Amino acid sequence: MGCEAKRIDAIIISQNVFTGTNDEAKPAAIALSGDRIAAVGNACDLRDLAANANTGQTPARVFDFEDAFVTPGFHDSHLHFFHSALYSSPLAEMFLGENEADCVRRMQELSLRRPTGWLLSQGWREYRWNPPVMPSKHSLDAAFPDRPVALYSGDAHTLWLNSVALRELGVNNDSVAPAGGSYDRDDTGELTGIVREAAAMELMPKIVGAFTDAEIDDAYRGFLARLAREGITGVCDMSLMASPGLDFIRDDSFARLLEKDELTARIHMFPTLLADQSRFERMLRDYTHPLLSTRGFKQFFDGVSSQHTAWVTDPYTNARFADDCGRPTIDPALMRDYVLAAAEKGYPVRIHTIGDAAIHAALNFFEEARERFGELPQGRRNCLEHVENFLPDDIARLASLNVVAAVQPPHITLDPGGPERDLGNERVPYMWPLRALLDVGGTLAFGTDSPVVDVKSMDMLYVAVTRQDPATHEPAGGWLPSERVSMAEAIRAYTLGSATAASRAHELGTIAPGMLADITVVDRNLLISDAADIQKTRTLATFTGGRCVYTA
């Protein structure tokens, strides 16, 4: 059972407790003391424990969830909190749109709610439109001749701007894009309004700078409430942009909410890895609260396959020019220097790597770092983010190097037919190889990459175990069904795996004495549910650090 002689604040009881240490859910009770789990055992024993520990004090509160499913708290291993909160708030909007004209119409609707200032949305994906063609500034100019408008793509790598926005941002026909980015131009050399990769990322702070701290804090409160409703007790807030000062890790907002006791999820911050590590080290010193801490670095090594900006070894199957292999977003020699400098100090690094060339090079750097400086201390782990397209031998190599694969299952079905179109049938078997990674001893950490994909826990688990789209439920039988994982494995990746990515597996991700009391309760036993019922599951309660932050 395991316990200490201390006050018991609450007892959680259920016939279906999944501790995360095996693949079953069994009857059990969980005693909570402060923000930790004091004991796990049968209900009678823990009631007696609480009665003895609380003699002369207020009795422990009992939560009897009967046959509901109790699991370690869900933990999103990779999201972008600022933009997720922004697009969940009245300040901006998230939508895909059916085509270019439909997006313009949606922006006109947003303008009625926000009559002044910038108009901002995210979510468009031209390859899912009818017709699947890139938009331009001209349609926005016709609807908004006097107001700046920005639409960020669903994958957060491309901006679509009108002429007013271009002028306000200081971009003109003579502008030179920063390294790793581009300003698209038509055949006459005129800007089209499409801005890609590093160039788009550089402009975003100027666009969102119109929102006040009070507005952002309120958006953060709203997003925290959404996380709680989804049973999410912890997140890794990942740097969104690689340039200095553009990572959108708003530690100031988190600190204000923490001071007001309004943080209802555990926040793990991952600012950008740069040659100057001073901001990271200041954050490491300043944020040591169990609910708010800085856990490691984030960097970007390539883009996305759908735009041919992911760095691949062989040219894209539908190559647009000779040697169309994408490109690294920063010089590989510089990335190597960054990784080695972090490793020398024992700091973990998480790298955005989608293409097989980026994954391979990043593994080379991690391997060299381990050879020179040994394993990272204190259970810290390096991670690769997204890892969509492997060279075959690198699947086992990632596991052998103790590198975590931080993946987002909903990405698998975002672009139906896209992998075959862009990478061809020979490379498809090595895309999102979740089963293969587990079979060679790899560690998966699940997340959503919100706002690229919404923070819907059940959608995320559904895709992992079915390899089918959460909206269409296609393709029948799943895309690469041999790479499906079991529900127990999926939940473990969404709890313990994510805790591992945050370097906190010693105190998060399982239900056991001494662990932090982050616990999620849902209304059905997910381990035995039919796939068709997964998305019907509702969160009944969410506990963060022993505090009930949501009840249905």
10-residue mean pLDDT series, the chain (552 residues): 72 98 97 98 96 93 98 98 93 94 96 93 93 96 98 91 98 93 95 94 88 95 98 96 79 98 98 95 97 97 93 97 94 98 98 98 98 97 98 98 98 95 96 98 98 95 98 97 98 98 98 98 98 98 98 97
State the helix-helix crossing angle for 487-494 and 457-466, rounded to 10 degrees. Answer: 140
Record the tokens describing residue 413, joined without a space.
């079905």
Q: In this predicted structure, what is the pLDDT of residue 2?
A: 46
Burial class of residue 535 in the structure, from the number of CB atoms within 10 Å of its CB (0-12 exposed, 13-18 middle, 19+ buried):
middle
| Pairing of β 158-161 and β 149-153 | antiparallel
* CATH, domain range 298-444: 3.20.20.140
Which stretch of DSSP H or E encloses residue 436?
A: helix 434-439
Q: In this predicted structure, what is the pLDDT of residue 106?
A: 96
Say which CATH topology domain 92-208 has: Diaminopimelate Epimerase; Chain A, domain 1 (3.10.310)
Question: At CB < 8 A and 24+ separation, what contacts does 362-368 make?
Answer: 362/301, 362/335, 363/394, 363/397, 363/398, 363/401, 363/403, 364/336, 365/335, 365/336, 365/339, 365/340, 366/339, 366/401, 366/403, 367/401, 368/336, 368/340
What 3-state DSSP class applies to 201? helix
CATH 3.20.20.140 location in the chain: 298-444
Who's near 193: CB < 8 A, 6+ residues apart? 135, 136, 137, 138, 140, 160, 161, 162, 163, 165, 166, 184
Which DSSP symbol is given to 412? G
